[in-house]
Structure 1
Amino acid sequence: MKKYQELIQFIIENIGGKSNISGVTHCMTRLRFTLNDAEQVDEQSLLNHSEIITAQYSGGQYQVVIGTHVADVYEEIMEELGSTKTTLEESEETGKKGLINRFIEIITKVITPTLGILIAASLVLGIQSILTIANLTAPDRGESLILNALGNALFTFFPIILGYTSAKAFKSDGFIGMMIGATLVFPSLLTDLTSGEPLYTLFNHTIFATPVFKTFFGLPIIFPENGYTSTVIPIILAMFFISKVEKRLTQVIPKVLRFTLVPLITLLIGIPATILLFGPLANFASSIISAAISFLYGASPIITGFVVGLFYQPLVLLGLHWPVIALGINNLATQGFDQLMPMIYTVPFAQMAVVFAVYLRTKNKKEKSICISAIISTVFCIIEPAMYGVTLPVKKRFFISCLASAIGGVIIAAFNVPNYASTIGLFGIGGFINPANADYSGFIIAVIATVATLAVGFVLGYFTYNDNKKAKEIEKTDTVIAEKKLA
C-alpha cells in the first residue's frame, strides 16, 4: 500500500473523482487541480480532513494545501490518475481562466521547478558574504572565487534554465527552450551587438531610450546594455510565441521530416523574434515597472515598504505572489541588487512570531503539534503551513502577522536596504551583505527589522490570544466563506 493512498483517494473523491480532473501540478505546499467542473467539489469535507491544511479555488485552479511533503503526494497521485493526466494539453477551459489567472499559472509553472537550486545558489552567496565579513576569505582568494562562480552560475545563465521550464509550461520542446536561452546569453553576443558608434538612438529622451548599433536586414536590433544574462521575462514571452510556432510546424510538416525541420525552422523563426521583439518588449515593460516603483519609492519609501509588507501574505493566500517574486529576481539579475524582495523578507518571521505565541498559549495538543511544524517551515520561508494551519483560521492572528511584516518592511525600506542574493528565510540574511566590499550595514538593518517584526508579532499574538473554541469555529467558517468569495 502506498504511503499516502488513503489521503489521495479522499482528495480525488471529494474533488469530483478522476473524471473531473483534467490536470494536476504542485508548488511547495499545494496540489493544484485543473477541474472540468468546480461545482462537484465537496469543499467542506476537504477542509475537515486532518491532513489537509486548507482548500480553495484560486488562480483558475482548485488548490489543496497539504504541506511540504506535497512532492511525494504528487508522485503517488500521478500514478493513481494514470499517465494521460500528466500529458493533457491545456484545454478549452484555459481560455476561460482569464489573462491574470493564466499569467499567474504560467509564472508558477516556470519558477517553481527552479526554487530548490535558486535557494541553494542564493545561500552559497550568503555563505560567501559571511566568510568575507568574518575575514575567513577574501574576494581574490580561490575559495571565494569558486563560491562566487557557484552562487552566480544560476543567475548568469538563468535564461537557459527558464527556457527549459518555460518550454515545459507551454508544452514545447525543452531543448529548443534551452537553445533560445543559450543564444540570449551567448558570451560574444552582447559585445558584438553593442560595440562601436551607435547608428542612431530610438526613443531618445525617454525612459525607453536605446542606442542601435546593428540591424537585422534593416530592422533595428534593440539590445540592452547589460544583455540578457540573468533575465526572467524575455525568455518566458519568447517561449509562449515559440511554442505556438513549434506546434503549428508539427502539424504541417510530414512526420518523416519533423525530427530535423521542426527544431531548425522553430529556431530560425524564434531566435530573431526573441531578439527583435520579445526581448525589447520585456525590457520596455521592465522600464515602466522600475520607473513606477522608483517613483513610489522616491515619493515615500516608508509607504512602499508598508504596502508591500502588508499585502504580500494575502497575495500568497490567493496564489498571486509569484509575479512579485519574478520581478524581484529580475531586478537582482539585471541590477546585481534588489530593493523589492527585502520588503517581504520579514514575512516568515511575522508568521513565526504569531505561531510561537499561539504555541505558548494554547492547551490543545493538536494545535501545539501544528505550531511546531509550522515554525520549522517558516525558518526556511515556507509560510503556508503557519498561515493556513494557525493564523488564517483566526482572522485577528492573520492581520497581526500582516501588520508585523509591514513594520519590518517599513524599517528596511526607510533605510534603503537592498539584498545582493535572492536569499530567504533565517539562513538567507547573509544576502544583505555586499559581496563586493563586505559592507554589512544592510545586514544590521535587516536584523533590526527582523527583531522588530518578531517582537510585534509575538506581543500582539500573545496578548490577544483567545482560547474560546466557539469563537474559533465561527472564525473558521467566516474564513472559508471569505476565501470562496475571493476565489
Structure 2
Amino acid sequence: MSDKNLAEKIVENIGGKENVQSLTHCMTRLRFVLKNEEKADKEALEKLDIMQVVRGGGQYQIVIGTNVKDVYEEVIKLTGEEDGAGGGGKEQKLSAKIFNVISGSFTPIIPAILGSGMLKALLQILVAAGAMQSTSGTYAILTAASNAVFYFLPIILGITFGTRMNVNPYISGVIGAALLEPNYTRLLTAAGGKTDFMHIPVVLMDYSSTVFPVILAICTYVLIDRLLKKIIPGVFQVLFVPMLSLMLVVPITLIVFGPFGIYTGTFISNALTIALGKNAVLTNIVFGFIGIPTVMLGLHWALIPVIINNLSTTGQDFLLPTVQATAYAGAGAALGVFFKSKDLKLKELSFSAFVPAFLTGITEPVIYGIFFKFRRVLIYAMSMSAVAGGLCGIFHISASQLAGGIMVIPSYTPAVSFAIAMTVAFAGTFLLTYLFGYESAGKSARKPAGTVSSPEILAVEKTMTAPAKGTVVKLSQVADEVFSSGTLGKGIGVIPISDEIFAPADGVVVSVFPTKHAIGIRTEFGAEMIIHIGINTVELDGKYFEIFVQAGDKITSGQVIGNVEFDKVKEAGYDTTVMLIVTNTDHFHEVKIMEPDTFKDPVIQVV
C-alpha cells in the first residue's frame, strides 16, 4: 500500500478530517488529538499496513515506523491539520553513499523515463513494420515526446537532485538549463569546439542526455550556496545568493567538466580502436565489462563517431555487437528483478524497463530504474556483458547498422553467433539476478533508507553499549506500550543518573528529530538504531535537550552526542527512560539482550 493510500485509509478510519483537532508526529508514530475518539475505528486501523494503535495521554497514536514522515505529509495534505512538532524526519546528508542519493534523485522521474522508453520502442516497431514513415510529421512529433526527458535530463535531474541536496531546486534546474541554452549550444558549431571565459579556456561539449555533469555541478552549488549564506547578510541573500551562485557554478561546470567529458571520451574511443586491432577478444571482454558504466557516465557518445565512421567506410563495425550485449544484459537484469521481486511497484517498474531494452536496445529505463537502485544487479550485468563481448570477439561478429533490439538480429554477421552471444548476456544476467537476488539501495515499504538487505554479510557478533549512564531495564518494563511490546524492534531501557547521551557504537547519524528527543543511527555493521530519550518528550519541543551531532556525522562508541537536563524533564512530568531500539532486528540472525555489570559493558549483541 502506498503512503498516499495508507494516509487516506487512516483519515477515513479516525472519523474523517472533521474529527482531527491537531496532528503531530515523532520518530515513529502519528500523534492525533481527536475531537471524538469514539468515532475512530481501532479494529479497522490495525488491519492496515501499520504497526500498532495506542490510546493515551489525550492522544490517538498510530505507529507507522521510521518512515512516519512520508505518511504524515500525505495525511497533512488530506486534513490540513498540523502542529508545531511536525516537520522533522530525516535530514539529507551530503556525504556517504552517493549511489543512493542519485537513485533517490531518479525516483520521481522514473515514470517519465519508462513512458518515454516505451514510446521509443513503439515507434521503432511501427517503422520496422511499415505502419509509420520516419519522415512523417506524426513520427517527428512522437519522437519529440519520447526524446524530451532524455535530452532535457540535466534540467529535470538538476531539480530532483537539488531537492535531495537541500538547496533551491529551481536554481539547480536553471544550472542544468544553462548547459542546454541556445547561446551556449551555438558555440558547439560556431566556436569550433573551444571558447574562453574571462580568458580561461573552455572545451565545449554537448550536455544533452548527460547525468554526472549536472550532479557534480549541483554538488558545487551546495558548497557555494552554503558559503555565500555565511558571508552575505540575511536581508540581501534573496537577491545575491542566487545571482552569485549562477555566476560561479555555471562557468565552473563548463570549464572543469567539459574537458573531463571530451578528453576521457576521446581517450576511450582511441584506446578501443587501437585495442580492437591488436586483440579483439580481450578488447570486447574489457569493453563488455565497462560498457554500462561508460553509458552511465555519458562517455559512450565519444564512441558513436568511431562506430559511424567504421560503418560508412567499411560497412561494418566490430564494437557495436558488444555495445548491444550491454542492452541484452540490462533486459535480463530487469526481467530477473521482475520475477524475483514480490513488490508490485518494483515488478511494474522492472517490466516496463525490460520491454524497451529487449525490443529496441533502449537501456535508459534499466539504468535509471534498476542499476542505480540495485548495485548487485549492475555487477551481474557487467560480468555477463563481458562474457558476451568475449564471444563477439571470438566469432568476429560485426554490425552493419546502429539500431538495436531483437528486431535487428538478422542485420548482424554472423546472425546465429550474434544471437548466441546475446542469449548468453540476457539469460546469464537473468539467472544470476533470479537465483542470487538483488541488493536493495532504496526504501522498502516499512523500513528506513539504508537498511541492510543481505543478512549473510552480518554473520558476526557485534555489540552496543548503553546510550546513558544508569540502571539498565528490560524493554518490556518501559512505560510505553509501543516500545515495551517490541513492535519497533528489540532493545533496552536506561533509567538515567547523569545528563549525558552516548553513542552506543561506531557509525553514522542518520537523523536527529527536530524536537531533539530522538536520534537515528546506522552502525558500521549495518544495525539501524533509535535512541529515544524519554516518553512523550516530543511535547517539550526540544526544551531541556541539547544534541551535539547532526545527520551525516560519523560517531564513535562512547562519544558524548547530547546532553539532557533530566531533572527538569522529570519536574515537567515526563518519564526520563532512555531507550535504545534496533529497528531492523529482523535483518539479524539474533539480537541478544545482555546484562552489563558496568556502564562500558555491552547491553545488546547482534549476530
SS of aligned partner of 2:210: coil
Shift of the 411–276 alpha-carbon distance from structure 1 to 2, 3 Å rule, reads same
Trace 1:252-267 onto structure 2 (pairs within 5 A).
252-267=231-246
Written as runs of structure 1 = structure 2, the 5 A alignment for 1:85-164 is 85-86=89-90, 88-90=91-93, 94=95, 97=96, 101-102=97-98, 104-164=99-159
Q: 2:334 and 2:247 mapped to 1: Cα distance?
A: 51
Relative distance call for 1:484 and 1:379 in structure 2 (3 A) is: farther
Equivalent of 2:87, from 59, 83, 102?
Answer: 83
Query: Residue in 1 aligned with 2:208?
Result: 229
Partner-residue secondary structure (3-state), 1:84 = coil
Distance 2:380 2:201 in 1: 53
Letter paired with 1:415:
I
Q: Which residue of 1 aligns with 2:259?
A: 280
Equivalences for residues 12-27 of structure 1 within 5 A: none
CA contact (8 A) 1:352 1:378 kept: yes
- In structure 1, the partner of 2:225 is 246
CA contact (8 A) 1:159 1:232 kept: yes
What is the correspondence of 1:320-399 to structure 2 with a 5 Å cutoff? 323=293, 326-327=296-297, 331=300, 335=304, 342-347=324-329, 350=332, 379-381=351-353
Q: Which moved more, 1:109-118 or 1:145-154?
A: 109-118
- Quick one: distance in 2 between partners of 1:238 and 1:460? 36
Amino acid at match of 2:300: N
* Matched ranges for 1:193-208 at <5 A: 194-195=189-190
Check the 8 A contact 2:326/2:382 in 1, yes or no: no
Alpha-carbon distance in structure 2 between the residues aligned to 1:335 and 1:155: 17
Q: 1:419 to 1:290 in 2, by over 3 A?
A: same
Q: What SS does the aligned partner of 1:221 have?
A: strand
CA pair 151-181 structure 1, distance change in 2 beyond 3 A: same
Aligned length: 345
The 3-state SS of whatever aligns with 1:237 is helix
Q: For 1:85, give the aligned amino acid.
A: G
Contact 1:306 1:409 in 2 (8 A): yes
Q: Give distance in 2, aligned partners of 1:125 and 1:451.
A: 23
Q: Tell me: higher relative CO, structure 1 or 2? Use CA pairs within 8 A at least 6 residues apart.
A: 1
The aligned residue for residue 215 of structure 1 is 196
Q: Work out the percentage of aligned pairs sharing the same amino acid.
A: 23
**Per-residue CA distance 1:218-237 (angstroms, 9 max, x = gap):** 2222223xx32233222222
Deviation at 1:142, TM superposition (A): 1.2
Say if 2:160 is the partner of 1:165.
Answer: yes
Tell me if structure 1 keeps the 8 A contact 2:92–2:166. yes
Aligned-partner residue type, residue 272 of structure 1 = P
C-alpha separation between the residues in 2 aligned to 1:420 and 1:113? 31
- Taking the aligned partners of 1:141 and 1:379, their CA distance within structure 2 comes to 30
Q: Within 5 Å, which residues of 2 pair with 1:306-321? A: none
Contact 2:118 / 2:352 at 8 angstroms: preserved in 1? no
8 A contact 1:342–1:409 mirrored in 2: no
* TM-score (ref. length: structure 1): 0.53
Equivalents in 1 of 2:208, 2:430: separation in Å? 42
Deviation of the 1:145 alpha carbon: 0.9
Match of 2:257, SS?
Answer: helix
**TM-score normalised by L of structure 2:** 0.44
Give the deviation of 1:296 after TM superposition: 6.0
Q: Give, in whole Å, the separation in 2 of the partners of 1:272 and 1:461.
A: 43
8 Å CA contact 1:156, 1:229 repeated in 2: yes
- Does the aligned pair in 1 maintain the 2:161–2:218 contact within 8 Å? yes
C-alpha deviations, 1:337-391, integer Å up to 9, x for none?
Answer: 99576333333665689899xx9xxxxxxx9x969999877544479xx99xxxx
Aligned equivalents of 1:411 and 1:193: distance in 2? 39
Structure 1 counterpart of 2:172, which letter? Answer: G
Aligned to 1:34: none
Which string of whole-angstrom CA distances, capped at 9 and with x for unpartnered residues, describes residues 78-111 of structure 1?
779963224x2427xx3xx4xxx44x23433444
Distance 1:461 1:243 in 2: 37
* Structure showing greater Rg: 2
Contact 1:408-1:449 at 8 Å conserved across structures: yes
Indicate the residue corresponding to 2:40 in structure 1. none
Report the equivalent of 2:464.
none
| 1:126, distance to aligned residue in structure 2 (A) | 2.1
Residue deviations 1:184-237, cap 9 Å, x none? Answer: 1112423346526x6xxxxxxxxxxxx64x33232222223xx32233222222
Cα distance in 2, alignment partners of residues 185 and 179 from structure 1: 10
Superposition RMSD on alpha carbons, in Å?
5.5
Give, as a single letter, the amino acid of the residue that structure 2 aligns with 1:220. P
CA distance in 1, matches of 2:290, 2:256: 34
Q: In the TM superposition, what is the alpha-carbon distance from 1:239 to its structure 2 partner?
A: 1.6
Structure 2 counterpart of 1:108, which letter? Answer: S
